[in-house]
Amino acid sequence: MSQEKAPDDRGNVLIKYLLGPRDELIAAGRSVFECGDVEIGVFALDNDLVSWRNQCPHMRGPVCQGRIMPKVVEPVASDGTVEHLAFSEEDRHIVCPWHGHEFDLRTGRCIGRETGLRKVNLEIEGDDVYACI
């Protein structure tokens, strides 16, 4: 995997890893990469890309390889009652394969806990996507 060094806006030196063409990452939906000694997951959401470290905050499980499913919602009727559960049309969650902690794929926030996934910044240059770590 090709890489180059670049300073961030705080002066820290980041390594940029070339992940591949944006269109291929979007088409794949989910891709997992090794960037040096860091594993990351890259996910396509609504024609956009988001990336997280493949390490669950619970016990470091490979969260980016977990099952992806729609968020469960409770539609409230006009009389205030909830008759059934439904799946969200927009929001996706990922479930850690080790112990089932669930995370919002767009925000990385853990559902029901004060923790979350660690974001990886992506840069797009031309058609190519880089992870900055």
CB 118, min distance to ligand FES, A: 13
CB 62, min distance to ligand FES, A: 8
Tell me the C-alpha distance between 17 and 35, whole Å: 6
Q: How many CB atoms neighbour CB 101 within 10 A?
A: 20
Q: Where along the sequence are the contacts to ligand FES (CB under 6 A)? A: 56, 58-59, 61, 63, 96, 98-101
CB 36, min distance to ligand FES, A: 22
* Strands annotated E in 10-120: 13-21, 30-35, 38-45, 48-53, 67-73, 86-95, 102-104
Smaller CB separation from ligand FES, 51 or 54? 54
Q: How many CB atoms neighbour CB 43 within 10 A?
A: 21
Smaller CB separation from ligand FES, 31 or 55? 55
Smaller CB separation from ligand FES, 63 or 122? 63
